[in-house]
Structure 1
Amino acid sequence: MSSRLPNPLISLLVIIVWALSPLPSTLAQVEKRPHIQIRGIYGGAPTQLLKQNKQLPELGVNAIFMGSGSLTEERIAQLKKQGAQVFAEFNTMHVANYLKDHPDAAPIGVDGNICPAPQGWQGICPTHPDYRKYRMDEFRRVLKEHKIDGIWLDYHHSHASWERAIPDMPDTCFCERCLKQFQKDANVSLPRAPTSKLSQLLLGKQKAAWVQWRCDVFTDWVREFRSIIDETRPEALLGTFHCPWSNTDFNGALKNKLAIDLKAQANYIDVFSIMPYHARFNHPQDPAWISRQTAWLGNHLDIKGAPGERLKIWPIVQLSDWGETVPVEQVHSVLDHGTRLPATGVMVFRWGSLHPQTDKVAAMIDYYRKIKP
């Protein structure tokens, strides 16, 4: 039998040694964050550490965010036993497999044809009634079957690939169902004309009404999600992972393209988890972009991070590499900007690709431990 330790075990030992040892070079840089109530990990539980009998409190972690399909009674109980809150991520508009049996749910583009998936990101028509019921039924099932502390909407936007330095955001959906519903809801009449002509009208003279209607459709989904929580698990929080842009970025694309009306959704949402992935979104050398975007969101929604506020901001910040590399030297800076008011919680993206990067995991743990109340 070889005396050499397998590579995975070496990695785990490195994480553990770093986690339980101070980092003298960065200790002085960490300021207390008494307002930060959530110190989370997104992308699943840190099983690599838990298998070594490490406890989440000693790692500074008190919240785990995982996909709704990964929830199990055993895993939830294990995490809660260690004092962690468990939150589920829920895919709303990106279940691409649904189109295999329901091709009529594909978004229609300005030319009247099915709009290709931008950069491979396949959205669904937001007015398709059966798809909406399918997602609402699944949302209700997750809440009924799992004792979670909250559930976060994900991919709740139009047919667009915005999670990149140069976003790809086609105009949709111009199917007959959407056009009919728009006329009814907005109390307008469209002429009898090909879709290519109608789309020009809706993106021209009728743009304000069209954009607002699209936003209202997506907001109404949020309203229904809220009602399901209130009926099924009222103590659970409703959160949303959302685009980090301001209302003016990319020519107002937040509403004009993605159909995200943050102020309207705030009537139903408890926690806004803005997604300022600085490296991914063309700010690799500027972690301060994280706190600038969070500050904009706070001003926009009048969230200050004060005790007792109904609305909260818990950013999800990028530590794992995705396109651009996030160096270990940036970890504390990223978390510093992610934990500044009006934020009252933070989580890191994402454990699946982060855990092999043991130096960054150790720096994250060090930061979390230092800011614990």
Structure 2
Amino acid sequence: MLFFRHVGQIRLTVEWDSSRSHSAVQELREQSTMTPIRSLMVFDTAIDAGDFARSCLEWGIDTPCLHPGFLEDGRMVRALEGEGLRSWLNVPVFCDPKYLARHPEDYAVTSLGRRAGEEDWLHFVCPSREDYLESVIKALRRDLGKLTPAVVSLDFIRHFLFWERVALDGRAAGIEDGCYCPLCLSRFEKACGEVVDRGNAPAYIHCHLLQPWTEWKCRCISDVAERLFGEIRALAPGAALAVHTLPWRETDLDGAIRIRAGQDAASLARHADMIAPMAFTQMLGQTALWKEQLLADIRMSTGKPVCFYVQAEALYRPGNITAEQFDAELTEAGNADPAAIMVFQYEQLAARPEKAAILRKHFRA
């Protein structure tokens, strides 16, 4: 099956590996008369579930995106079902502060020798911890017994790094990444047949063993994704499967998406129906043209449809996102013909009625 996409005057033709990838996403789009899946991220579990569901319906959101914290009781599921809304379950695979509060020994260890994200919100689990992966699978089985989602996505499915603070025109050598814990180093040594100098493992690896290290990191993440998606297919066979990736091409930052994050987009795409690059233009100080080119690159390299992120308020960089800029990006999203449009985030829109009105204008039109 072929997927055609126009970028400027260039026509890209990509052969898909699986007809299921087309049908899972296409079926959802057909339910919305071929418009993209329209989603909205929400994070605060203390919000009023009824207000959230009614806002989604009023603004034109058809598939709000929830994290597993919303499934600890039945309020949100009942509210969404009551308004006739589908749901998107987003699973934050290796970002788990609650687990790490109980098991601090399972923190990923960074290239600077410290626990990954311990002093910030991005608390990252070492990807080699089998007990942790079993707990993720157990949680999936529990959550998918409470919810029948239209979409399930794997988020934070990578090795540790804080990409939001990495400048695309910066130096790849300055990126703090993980994991360099003894367990990961031992697994890597066994896989590649080499011995790592434990005195300064990050420097030794990047100087002498960079290619096998990169391949091992990517294989580790791809294997976890395949394992989790296999569980999800068995538990929610009708759901479209998505994977979140960093907003970097393989040529950006000297290949950091693979070397540092362990994300091989083409490999991850084999297990998913849709790719969701975290392409926030304001956060990364980029332009609409940059996003268009990035999404085209992802489509071409993976052969899968993409999700278009729209940022409502400024993050990490100074300045703000005006109502006019928000309006313009929603227009760009509609013109890009993505499989899904993901708006980030509900809590910000609830506090900015003028932007909520702009969202409604685009999604209810």
Q: TM-score range by the shorter chain?
A: 0.7 to 0.9
**Are residue 68 (structure 1) and residue 68 (structure 2) matched?**
yes
CA distance in 2, matches of 1:272, 1:42: 16
Percent identity (aligned) = 20
Question: For structure 1, which segment, 322-331 or 86-95, has the greater mean C-alpha deviation from structure 2 after superposition?
Answer: 322-331
1:172 to 178, 186, 202: 178
Residue of structure 1 aligned with 2:190, choices 181, 184, 193: 184
Aligned with 2:260 (options 238, 241, 257): 257
Structure 2: distance between partners of 1:333 and 1:154: 27
Q: 1:114 to 1:74 in 2, by over 3 A?
A: closer
Q: How does 1:238-277 map to 2 (within 5 A)?
A: 238-277=241-280
Matches of 1:119 and 1:55 in 2, distance apart?
34
Residue 123 to residue 53, structure 1, CA distance change in 2 (3 Å):
closer
Aligned-partner Cα distance in 1 for 2:274–2:247:
14
Is the CA contact (8 Å cut-off) linking 1:174 and 1:195 kept in structure 2?
no
Q: Report what 1:322 is aligned to.
A: 315
Return closer, same or farther for 1:190/1:342 CA change in 2, 3 Å cut-off: farther
Structure 2 residue identity aligned to 1:155: F
Unaligned 5+ segments in structure 2 are: 1-31, 169-173
In structure 1, C-alpha distance between the alignment counterparts of 2:70 and 2:346, rounded to whole Å: 14
- Is residue 230 of structure 2 the alignment partner of residue 227 of structure 1? yes
Q: CA deviation at 1:223?
A: 0.7
User: Which piece of structure 1 moves more, 254-263 or 135-144?
Assistant: 135-144
Aligned AA (1:189): E
Question: Equivalent residue of 1:136, what SS?
Answer: helix
Which residue identity is paired with 1:190?
V
Q: Matched residues in 2 for 1:171 and 1:203: separation? A: 12
1:237 aligns with 2:240: yes
| Number of positions where the alignment pairs a residue of Structure 1 with one of Structure 2 | 324
**Cα deviations across residues 88-135 of structure 1 (Å, max 9, x unaligned)?**
121111113433443331223447x44453872332211011122122
Contact 2:150 2:239 in 1 (8 A): yes
Query: Is the Cα–Cα contact under 8 Å of residues 85 and 148 in structure 1 kept in the other structure?
Result: yes
Give the alignment of 1:5-16 within 5 angstroms: none
**1:201 and 2:204 are equivalent in the alignment:** yes
Please, what is the CA RMSD of the aligned residues? Answer: 2.9
2:14 corresponds to: none
Q: CA-to-partner distance for each residue in 1:25-60, whole Å, 9 max, x for gaps?
A: xxxxxxxx9753312211169x88965995855632
CA contact (8 A) 2:37 2:340 kept: yes
Pairwise CA distance, 1:217: 0.6
In structure 2, the residue corresponding to 1:280 is in which secondary structure?
A: helix
TM-score (norm 2): 0.79
Q: CA separation in 2, counterparts of 1:99 and 1:180?
A: 22
TM-score between the two structures when normalised by the length of structure 1: 0.78
Q: Of 334, 337, 346, which aligns to 2:341? A: 346
**Aligned mates of 1:234, 1:298 — CA distance in 2:** 24
Larger relative CO (CA 8 A, sep 6+): 1 or 2? 1
CA distance in 1, matches of 2:66, 2:49: 16
Pairing 1:89–2:93 present:
no
Post-superposition Cα deviations, 1:228-263, rounded to whole Å, max 9, x if no partner, equal 112212112222232111111222111111111111
More displaced stretch, 91-100 vs 164-173: 164-173
The whole-number CA distance in structure 2 between the counterparts of 1:108 and 1:51 is 41
Q: Contact between 2:243 and 2:268, CA under 8 Å: does it hold in 1?
A: no
Shift of 1:361: 0.9
User: Given the superposition, is the C-alpha separation of residues 56 and 98 from structure 1 closer, same or farther in structure 2, using an over 3 Å criterion?
Assistant: closer
CA distance in 2, matches of 1:219, 1:104: 24
- 1:48 and 1:368, CA in 2 relative to 1: closer, same or farther beyond 3 A? farther
Mapped partners of 1:127, 1:119: distance in 2: 22
Structure 1 residue 74 displacement after superposition: 4.4
* Paired letter, 1:194: R
**8 Å contact kept, 1:169–1:258:** no
Counterpart in the other structure of 1:159: 160
CA gap 1:52/1:200 in 2 versus in 1, 3 angstroms: closer
SS of 1:117's partner is coil
Matches of 1:52 and 1:213 in 2, distance apart?
42
- SS of the aligned residue for 1:359 comes to helix
Call closer, same or farther: CA 1:234–1:195 in 2, change over 3 Å: farther
Query: C-alpha separation between the residues in 2 aligned to 1:291 and 1:143?
Result: 34
Mapped contact 1:87–1:151 kept (Cα < 8 A) = yes
Q: Tell me: CA distance 1:367–1:169, structure 2 relative to 1, closer, same or farther (3 Å).
A: same
Partners of 1:130 and 1:52 in 2: CA distance: 35
> Do the aligned partners of residues 289 and 335 (structure 1) sit closer, same or farther apart at CA in structure 2, a change above 3 Å counting?
farther
Question: Per residue, is there more helix in 1 or in 2?
Answer: 2
Partner SS, residue 238 of structure 2:
coil
Residue correspondence of structure 1 range 306-317 to structure 2 within 5 A: 312-317=305-310
